[in-house]
């Protein structure tokens, strides 16, 4: 069973072989990787997307997880990832996008330091108020 993580990243994937490795490499960081879980949701790809994702799952078994499913749609991939996610925060990342490693480390650090007890209530008034 997976431990609860700070940030869950869901990557919907369908035939993204040319881009996926660059995307996943951008999630390998020096600090904070133990606070991260990455779900690659393979939506019935016909290319090597699943094989590439499994390489990362094998190398980083506490961070990367591959879920193969029958081809559906983008939303079904996100919903499948949400069922698995344990993170306090969730980010959807397209397989042809990537993070800047330094920025990702900074995001994780900031999320670790958020004090939700100091949030404020805001009331927005319409034109009549």
Domains of the chain in sequence order: 7-115 (3.90.550.10)
> Phi and psi for 63 in degrees, rounded to 5?
-125, -45
Q: Tell me phi and psi for residue 108, to 5 degrees.
A: -60, -45
> Sorting pLDDT into bands at 50, 70 and 90, what band is 127?
low
> HSE (CB half, 13 Å, CA atoms) of 118?
3
pLDDT category of residue 118 using cuts at 50, 70 and 90: low
pLDDT band with cut points at 50, 70 and 90 for residue 129: very low
pLDDT of residue 3: 76
For residues 90-111, give the mean pLDDT. 94
* 55-66 pLDDT per residue, tens: 999 999 999 999
Is residue 71 within 8 A of residue 82, CB to CB? The reply is no
The pLDDT of 13-42, averaged and rounded, is 97
pLDDT score of 125 more than 70: no
């Amino acid at each position: 069973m997976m431990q609860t993580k700070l940030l869950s990243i869901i990557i919907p994937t369908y035939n993204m072989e040319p881009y996926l490795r660059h995307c996943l490499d951008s999630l390998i960081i020096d600090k904070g990787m133990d606070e991260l879980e990455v779900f690659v949701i393979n939506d019935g790809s016909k290319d090597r997307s699943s094989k590439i994702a499994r390489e990362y799952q094998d190398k980083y078994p506490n961070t990367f997880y591959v879920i193969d499913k029958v081809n559906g749609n983008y939303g079904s991939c996100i919903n499948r990832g949400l069922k698995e996610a344990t993170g306090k925060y969730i980010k959807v990342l397209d397989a042809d996008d990537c993070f800047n490693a330094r920025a990702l480390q900074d995001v994780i650090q900031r999320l670790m330091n958020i004090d939700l007890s100091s949030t404020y209530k805001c009331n927005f008034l319409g034109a009549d108020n």
